[in-house]
Amino acid sequence: MENTLSPHLFSPFTVRSVTLRNRIGMSPMCQYSATDGFANDWHFVHYGARAVGGAGLIIVEATGVAPEGRITPGCLGLWSDQHIEPLARIAKFVKERGAVAGIQIAHAGRKASADLPWQGGAHLSEAQGGWPTIAPGALPFGDPLTKVPRAMTAADILRVQNDFVATAKRALTAGFNWLELHAAHGYLFNSFLSPLTNQRTDNYGGSFANRTRLLLDTTRAVRQVWPDQLPLAVRISAIDWKAGGWQIEDSIALVKLLKAEGVDLIDTSSGGLVPDAKIEVKPGYQVPFAEQIRHGANLATAAVGFITDAKPADEIIRSGQADMVLLARQLLANPYWPAHAAKALGQKITPPNQYLRAW
């Protein structure tokens, strides 16, 4: 945790050899706009605009480590070398605009093979362009994700780990300098972590040590190929919002182990595991989790979720609740949120030359 000297929203943040120009990151957000996993002009403009708008970190959306690991047929993928080039173009532009280029790599597990949200988001049969799903066990998520996943074999587990490692290498080749593993929202890693979704009886289920094994082993393998000088982050669901599920104490215990594997920052989200979770959504509702993990495990955190205004965002940093904030919907609505926030807080950020007369 560098920069502990009164950091605020617009102070730089250094993780390993990478320095963010401020503490505002673009939260990963699926665009459901790819064909066969390939990034296109939509993605280029979408991510490029937020880098122009002043964010310190751009995290490219959940990007599948395998075709069957995509949430929808429109999700990005990086399971082949052919996927590198259009992502490299995005990473290059983001960096030219002074932001750090990050990417979230993911496997959607039992929530994969869904239709695009604006087409209803239900599971797709193979005839409709969907595919068979895998998970810790043969437990479906529930309406409208009704597909029964196949319980993963030892060979599946090994393959998924290898897919994460190969994808991390490709992300590096594409020029990304910040990597995030998606272990939240009920996707594959998350479904191994929680006792609600992991009922395995082998050494990947049962005890806390067994349920965390897949994520920890994969993190260790990824860290070996992801350079020492570059940050590695993990997004987790800090709690399931359900009795009998994963609790904040579990998160703190997990984060201590992730830290020992070379993870630098925890992107602190919550929920998404089961459909009947009772989530108490209100402004900054997940910030206390980021704070508890930051202090409980002594690791940097990013706070995310319903952070809308400059002042509270700044306060999250000033009060030491988190090291940075990630914004999702606010940045969709306004790519220039960081520029406006700087003005509201009396901070100066340098606009691109082309926009000098506007900011």
Ligand X SMILES: Cc1cc2nc3c(=O)[nH]c(=O)nc-3n(C[C@H](O)[C@H](O)[C@H](O)COP(=O)(O)O)c2cc1C
Q: Are 79 and 64 in contact (CB under 8 A)?
A: yes
Residues 197-236 that bind ligand X (CB under 6 A): 235
Catalytic residue among 47, 187, 204, 336: 187
Q: What is the C-alpha separation between 231 and 305, in angstroms, rounded?
A: 22
- Find the residue with minimal CB distance to ligand X: 328
Q: What is the C-alpha separation between 249 and 239, in angstroms, rounded?
A: 9
Q: Kindly report the length of the chain.
A: 359
Q: What is the C-alpha separation between 336 and 334, in angstroms, rounded?
A: 5
Q: Is the Cβ of residue 75 or residue 299 nearer to ligand X in the bound state?
A: 75
Residue 247 corresponds to which tokens in the numbers above? Answer: 């609790």
Least distance in angstroms from the C-beta of 79 to ligand X: 16
Distances (CA, A) of 135 to 55, 160, 168, 187, 198: 35, 11, 21, 9, 9
- Based on the shown chain and the rule CB under 6 A, indicate whether residue 161 belongs to the binding site for ligand X: no
- Based on the shown chain and the rule CB under 6 A, indicate whether residue 26 belongs to the binding site for ligand X: no
Residues 300-329 that bind ligand X (CB under 6 A): 304-307, 327-329
Least distance in angstroms from the C-beta of 228 to ligand X: 25
Least distance in angstroms from the C-beta of 142 to ligand X: 20
Q: Is the Cβ of residue 124 or residue 313 nearer to ligand X in the bound state?
A: 313
Give the interface size with ligand X as a residue count (CB under 6 A): 20
- Based on the shown chain and the rule CB under 6 A, indicate whether residue 183 belongs to the binding site for ligand X: no
Residues 252-281 that bind ligand X (CB under 6 A): 269
Q: What is the C-alpha separation between 340 and 344, in angstroms, rounded?
A: 6
Dihedral angle over CA of 165, 167, 169, 175, nearest 10? -150
Q: What is the C-alpha separation between 114 and 118, in angstroms, rounded?
A: 11
Of 20, 30, 222, 232, the one binding ligand X (CB under 6 A) is: 30
- Among the listed ranges 23-31, 81-89, 134-142, 249-257, the one in contact with ligand X (CB under 6 A) is 23-31
187 annotated active-site: yes
Least distance in angstroms from the C-beta of 325 to ligand X: 9
Dihedral angle over CA of 264, 190, 213, 293, nearest 10? 40
- Based on the shown chain and the rule CB under 6 A, indicate whether residue 115 belongs to the binding site for ligand X: no
- Based on the shown chain and the rule CB under 6 A, indicate whether residue 72 belongs to the binding site for ligand X: no
Strands 134-135 and 150-151: parallel
Least distance in angstroms from the C-beta of 164 to ligand X: 15
- Residues at the contact surface with ligand X, assessed by CB under 6 A: 27-30, 61-62, 104, 182, 184-185, 235, 269, 304-307, 327-330
Active site residues per annotation: 187
